[in-house]
Amino acid sequence: MHASRRSVILGALFVPVVAGCAPSEPAPSAPTVRDEVEPIRKRVKNIGDSFSARWIGRSNADDRNPGPSAVWLDAVIALGDEVVTTRLRDAAGTAPGRSRPELPAVLGDPGVGLTDAGLDAFVAVEPGTVRAFLYPERRLLAVMYFRG
């Protein structure tokens, strides 16, 4: 085989391999965990005035998507009041389900919590927007909020 022909064949094989290695888009950045409570107060009710929260919010709004946007907020809320925790437990009913919320990994895995449509309705400011998981023994409430 001639050297020039070999170079052409090797070049034809090498270029697609190298081109496939180039990143097509930048990797998504890790979500920012926030701790302000006002966004939680706007979307979750009946959790009292004394609480702390770790949460992540996101939306599909950008310059390329004009018009209404969908909003997601996932949070782990530390309830500050035993009375609030008891009311939330009561809202879950006498036979709540047990399930693990699908929260972003950076919020941690709170484990399997009590969940029920009654609890969801009790904490949702807007009907049908919150899925709630209660951990009464730890005074924690995990919520997955969606408005679209």
Query: Which residue in 79, 69, 59, 72 sits closest to 119, CA to CA?
Result: 79
User: Strand pairing partners for 54?
Assistant: 76
Q: Among 39-43, 67-71, 116-120, where is mean pLDDT lowest?
A: 67-71
Give the pLDDT confidence score for residue 124 in this predicted structure: 97
Q: pTM here?
A: 0.78
Residue 53 backbone dihedrals phi, psi, to 5 degrees: -150, 150
Rounded Cα–Cα distance for residues 118 and 21 (Å): 51
**pLDDT digits 0-9 by tens, 63-117:** 776 666 889 999 999 999 999 999 999 999 999 999 999 999 999 999 999 999 9
Domain ranges of the chain: 29-147
Provide mean pLDDT across the span 47-73. Answer: 86
Cα 104 → chain centroid: 5
Rounded Cα–Cα distance for residues 106 and 27 (Å): 17
Structure tokens at 103: 């929260």
Q: DSSP letter at 106?
A: G
